[in-house]
């Protein structure tokens, strides 16, 4: 099956009534501020909502239209796509949209105009591509071990598909690595093929800052929009136990995100923050043309050498943007009050419509 071409999307956009654009997304993840922000910029809004999950969207009244589906993945069904196109919809992608719609479907069959660069979504989803993007941009990332026998300091071991950090573990030597692998195998948590694909990286002992940027293709500018830190279960519960009890209980911590705190970073680190954002934009423009477009996120750990080390990126609205629906300390500096990531996205679409430049921000 061929990829959804830019020409096809531009043809669909040509048929749209530009005075009646609807901003749409899947009802999950960051849809509240995507739709609230779209309304603040004067758009109509629509939500594709799984039956039984509509309550937050009704109670917060963020959507003018509800397209109800049996399951999230139905967003790619023909009838849903028809409804979206009939309301001149531009879809704003987020983490759950990509997870439920499926990357192949987004690339091959989802013929609805989307904000951003749809080709880049695969680059953030696949660890090797993501690393390539960061290495090409000369961004500081955790040191990677190709062979467990080389482990000479604390490492974090990650498995493919270990969504939300479930099943990740820390080890400090080849022996500890092997013992933990055996324990996981005997519990049936991993298979031999997972072990082959285990990703072993330097454990960065530092504080977590997830940095939310917006790259405006219209202005060719990287904006710092906000920052959050993750609240992860069970690790954040685990560390509340006295150390003695931590040693005694037989618990292996997991890193499942359950929420986010807003956070600000030491002011002297902002130079690095802008630097890594600019570098990722440059790298993406080289490797995945036309590059990043709109929201992106660098998940970092800052160590005691005050190095900002990037362990993960998102090339679309990240969940932590929910910490600044009414604006953040950083978006306040540029925009004054009230600039969420959703609103910034809607403003870019509005500016593109006014400048007759939708082709620059839609894919």
- For ligand ADP, the binding residues (CB under 6 A) are 142, 156, 158, 162-165, 168, 201-204, 208, 230, 232, 255, 299, 301, 311-312
Question: Could you give the angle at which helices 270-287 and 127-136 cross, rounded to 10 degrees?
Answer: 110
| Calpha distance 91→142 (Å, rounded) | 34
- Least Å distance between CB 115 and ligand ADP? 23
Q: How far is the CB of 202 from ligand ADP (least distance, A)?
A: 6
Give min distance, CB of 262 to ligand ADP, in A: 16
Distance between CA atoms of 159 and 181, rounded to whole angstroms? 11
Is the peptide bond between 234 and the residue preceding it cis, with omega within 30 degrees of 0?
yes
For ligand ADP, the closer CB: 39 or 230: 230
Instruction: Write down the least CB distance from residue 230 to ligand ADP, Å.
Output: 5
CA 235 to centroid of chain Cα atoms: 21
Residue 277 or residue 320: which is nearer to ligand ADP going by CB? Answer: 320
Residue whose Cβ sits closest to ligand ADP: 165
Do residues 36 and 325 make contact, with C-beta atoms less than 8 angstroms apart? yes
Quote the least distance from Cβ 109 to ligand ADP, whole Å. 26
Q: Facing residues of 233 across strands?
A: 256
Nearer to ligand ADP among residue 20 and residue 258 (C-beta): 258
CB 11, CB 111: distance < 8 Å: no
CB of 189 to ligand ADP, least distance (A): 15
Q: Which is nearer to ligand ADP, 166 or 334 (CB)?
A: 166
Q: Distance between CA 321 and CA 347 in Å, rounded?
A: 16
Closer CB to ligand ADP, residue 23 or residue 302? 302
- Closest distance of CB 165 from ligand ADP, Å: 3
Question: 22-26 and 169-171 as β-strands: parallel, antiparallel, unpaired?
Answer: unpaired
Q: Is the dihedral of CA 303, 305, 307, 308 positive or negative?
A: positive
Q: Give the CA count within 13 Å in the CB-facing half-sphere of 352.
A: 24
Q: Residue 218 in 3-state DSSP?
A: coil
Report the residue number, 142 or 327, with the smaller CB distance to ligand ADP.
142
Cβ–Cβ contacts within 10 Å for residue 333, how many?
A: 10
Distance between CA 226 and CA 216 in Å, rounded? 15
How many residues are given for the chain? 363
């Amino acid at each position: 099956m061929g990829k959804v071409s830019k020409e096809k999307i531009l043809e669909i956009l040509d048929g749209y009534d530009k005075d009646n654009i609807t901003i749409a997304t899947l009802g999950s993840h960051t849809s509240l501020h995507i739709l609230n922000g779209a309304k603040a910029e004067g758009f109509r809004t629509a939500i594709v909502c799984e039956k039984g999950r509509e309550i937050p969207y009704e109670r917060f009244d963020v959507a003018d239209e509800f397209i109800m589906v049996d399951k999230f993945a139905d967003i790619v069904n023909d009838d849903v796509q028809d409804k979206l196109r009939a309301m001149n919809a531009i879809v704003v992608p987020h983490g759950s949209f990509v997870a439920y719609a499926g990357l192949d479907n987004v690339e091959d069959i989802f013929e609805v105009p989307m904000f951003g660069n749809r080709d880049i979504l695969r680059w953030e989803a696949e660890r090797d591509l993501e690393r390539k993007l960061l290495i090409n941009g000369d961004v500081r990332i955790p040191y990677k071990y190709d062979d467990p026998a080389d482990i000479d300091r604390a490492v974090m071991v990650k498995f493919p598909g270990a969504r939300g950090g479930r099943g990740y573990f820390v080890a400090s030597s080849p022996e500890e690595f092997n013992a933990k692998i055996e324990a996981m195998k005997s519990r049936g948590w991993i298979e031999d093929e997972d072990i082959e694909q285990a990703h072993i990286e330097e454990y960065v002992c530092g504080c977590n800052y997830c940095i939310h940027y917006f790259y405006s293709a219209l202005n060719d500018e990287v904006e710092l929009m906000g920052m959050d830190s993750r609240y992860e279960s069970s690790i954040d519960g685990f560390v509340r136990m006295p150390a003695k009890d931590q040693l005694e209980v037989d618990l292996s911590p997991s890193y499942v995100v359950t929420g986010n705190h807003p956070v600000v970073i030491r002011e002297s680190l902002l130079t690095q923050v802008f630097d890594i954002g600019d570098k990722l934009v440059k790298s993406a423009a080289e490797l995945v043309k036309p590059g990043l477009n709109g929201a992106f996120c660098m998940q970092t750990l800052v160590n005691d050498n005050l190095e900002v080390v990037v362990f993960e990126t998102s090339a679309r609205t990240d969940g932590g943007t929910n910490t600044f629906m009414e604006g953040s300390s950083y978006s306040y500096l540029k925009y004054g009050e009230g600039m969420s990531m959703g609103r910034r996205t809607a403003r870019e679409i509005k500016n593109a419509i006014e400048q007759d430049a939708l082709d620059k921000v839609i894919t």
